[in-house]
Amino acid sequence: MTEGLRSIEEDWSTALAIVAHPDDLEYGAAAAIARWTAQGKRVAYCLATSGEAGIDGTPPEKAGPLREQEERDSAAIVGVDTVEFLGYPDGVVEYGLPLRRDIARAIRRHRPDVVITGNFREYWPGGFLNQADHIAVGRAVVDAVRDAGNRWVFRELLDEDLQPWDDVRMVLVGGSPEARHGVDVSDHFEAGIQSLRAHAAYLAGLGDGPMSDPTEFLTSIASDAGTRLGCRYAVEFEQLAM
């Protein structure tokens, strides 16, 4: 029997979504973000890379700016107007202190109640292997949330007048095989689909694979999650209490 999902509490005001690539949030989480911005919550995006290695037929120097703009367009569809890029090289992001410091800096600047990130487990639901950038960035996000609250870690951030921020209530991990919580996105599911369609160049580069049709791919995932939550469409998250 499939285990049900518990609803995520929504008595918070601000969130910072930190992922590896343009399009990472759009494969599910964006519909939940559309719900939250419609509630009046403020959500900002921070991406480690510009996704410049993500389109085989387009050189990185052209793909990077193109994908940055697609992400900005995509974010606007779900009510997000702040999109930042950390400039790490796509495909070869390494977990380590520089990445943790840069993410902690972003958390101290934005001072969110909630942090959203992508799956950092070795596998996706269904057993498919995860990608190295996702693992590195997701792990660094969880650690950077704690770093952001400790004034004696990355002390150089104090010199930038970035005071510690230890009020992140939870980290929500999208696409995790350990997801036990969910968000009803029945009224905002279409916005999530359109946010993924905004990545037109990236989707075209995928060819005719199973992830190239946003409607079919997202509907399958959201319907299954909705069954577990008791609604039409839902987005699943692993919830880490901080």
pLDDT by position in tens, the chain (length 242): 468 999 999 999 999 999 999 999 999 899 999 999 999 999 999 999 999 999 999 999 999 999 999 999 999 999 999 999 999 999 999 999 999 999 999 999 999 999 999 999 999 999 999 999 999 999 999 999 999 999 999 999 999 999 999 999 999 999 999 999 999 999 999 999 999 999 999 999 988 776 778 999 999 999 999 999 999 999 999 999 99
Q: What was the pLDDT predicted at 1? A: 44
* Whole-angstrom distance, CA of residue 55 vs CA of residue 61: 11
3-state secondary structure of 49: strand
Are 144 and 91 in contact by the 8 Å Cβ rule? The answer is no
Burial 35-61 (b: 16+ CB within 10 A, else e): bbbeeebbbbbbbbbbbbbbbeebebe
Q: What was the pLDDT predicted at 2? A: 65
Tell me 6's DSSP state.
Answer: E
Based on the number of CB atoms within 10 Å of its own CB, is 15 exposed (0-12), middle (13-18) or buried (19 or more)? buried
Are 180 and 3 in contact by the 8 Å Cβ rule? The answer is yes
* Whole-angstrom distance, CA of residue 65 vs CA of residue 237: 30
Structure tokens at 205: 């580069």
